[in-house]
């Protein structure tokens, strides 16, 4: 029901439709990457004279050219969407689960529990985001699941604050008093009465956390801290700069950079369109 309402609201905006279509296309590309990619992304290509086809510009055989190791850039681009979406979606959903629950409990109960949870949130707000993830990866090893977990540990903080602010208002509403008078327990009031009313804001945060996670994953890959066994868009750009050929082989750098920009923009369009639907005053800004 919530997802249906979300899609209905987003599809009523041209900006939202544009973002949703683009995002769904990226999902389809990720699902059918083995079919869509013309070559193995790690395969080295040789010409008829058995010479390595390194740094070849775009051609009929290699639509986006080749890398310094003779690998097909287009195939790498197709496979690179998978880690971006896996890490992005898992991080966004995980941070929402953590942030929403902390916000609900903190806002509803108030008192010492509210103070404790908000002080913990303040501590996490003070932690520098990207350096924290890099330190975690240095200590525990580089994998997409470690990256996801590290981002989840940090990204919930803003969601918790937003949800708490809403709950502080909702807990004073008559429907909460009516539920309490009818004998409903605290958990029932929190998750059956209040939670459905904060879901629209939670879904907006899902979209924005997803976009932020995709950008962060690309940044980590670009800095050389990505999973060495997973080919991501950030890793592709890192390899181009590490080879010191990024200034020469533009086809090696521009496509993954453009792909990151397109996917993140699509997610922001979805989030913005839904935010405008639940808060029409934003349309006049």
| List of domains in the chain | 65-269 (1.10.3720.10)
Separation of alpha carbons 277 and 260, rounded Å: 26
- Whether pLDDT at 159 is above 60: yes
Q: What is the mean pLDDT of residues 184-208?
A: 90
pLDDT confidence bin for 1, thresholds 50/70/90: low
CB atoms within 10 A of CB 214: 27
Supply the pLDDT for residue 189.
Answer: 93
Helix boundaries (H) for 51-128: 73-109, 111-126
Average pLDDT, the chain: 90
Return the structure tokens found at 36: 């869509």
Integer Cα distance of 50 and 32 in angstroms: 31
pTM of structure: 0.89
Cβ-Cβ contacts under 8 Å for 248 (sequence gap 6 or more): 55
Under 8 Å CB-to-CB from 277, ≥6 apart: which residues?
9, 10, 12, 13
**Residue 238 to residue 246: CA distance in whole angstroms:** 9
Per-residue pLDDT tens digits for 212-267: 999 999 999 999 888 888 899 999 999 998 887 777 889 999 999 999 999 999 99
């Amino acid at each position: 029901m919530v997802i249906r309402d979300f899609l209905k609201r987003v599809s009523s905006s041209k900006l939202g439709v544009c973002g949703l279509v683009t995002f769904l296309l990226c999902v389809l590309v990720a699902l059918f990457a083995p079919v869509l990619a013309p070559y193995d992304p790690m395969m080295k290509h040789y010409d008829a004279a058995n010479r390595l086809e390194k740094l070849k510009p775009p051609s009929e055989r290699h639509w986006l050219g080749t890398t310094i190791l003779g690998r097909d850039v287009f195939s790498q681009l197709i496979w690179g969407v998978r880690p971006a979406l896996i890490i992005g979606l898992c991080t966004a959903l995980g941070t929402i689960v953590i942030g929403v629950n902390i916000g609900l409990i903190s806002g509803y109960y108030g008192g010492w529990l509210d103070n404790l949870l908000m002080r913990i949130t303040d501590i996490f707000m003070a932690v520098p985001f990207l350096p924290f993830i890099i330190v975690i990866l240095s200590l525990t090893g580089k994998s997409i699941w470690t990256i996801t977990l590290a981002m989840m540990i940090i990204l919930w903080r803003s969601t918790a604050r937003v949800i708490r602010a809403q709950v502080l208002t909702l807990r004073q509403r008559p429907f909460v008093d009516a539920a309490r008078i009818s004998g409903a327990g605290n958990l029932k009031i929190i998750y059956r009465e209040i939670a459905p009313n904060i879901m629209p804001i939670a879904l907006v945060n899902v979209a924005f956390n997803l976009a932020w996670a995709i950008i962060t994953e690309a940044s980590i890959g670009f800095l050389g801290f990505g999973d060495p066994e997973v080919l991501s868009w950030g890793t592709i750009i890192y390899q181009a700069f590490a080879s010191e050929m990024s200034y020469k082989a533009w086809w090696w750098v521009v496509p993954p950079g453009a792909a990151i920009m397109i996917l993140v923009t699509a997610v922001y369009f979805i989030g913005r369109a839904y935010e405008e639907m639940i808060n029409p005053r934003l349309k006049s800004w």
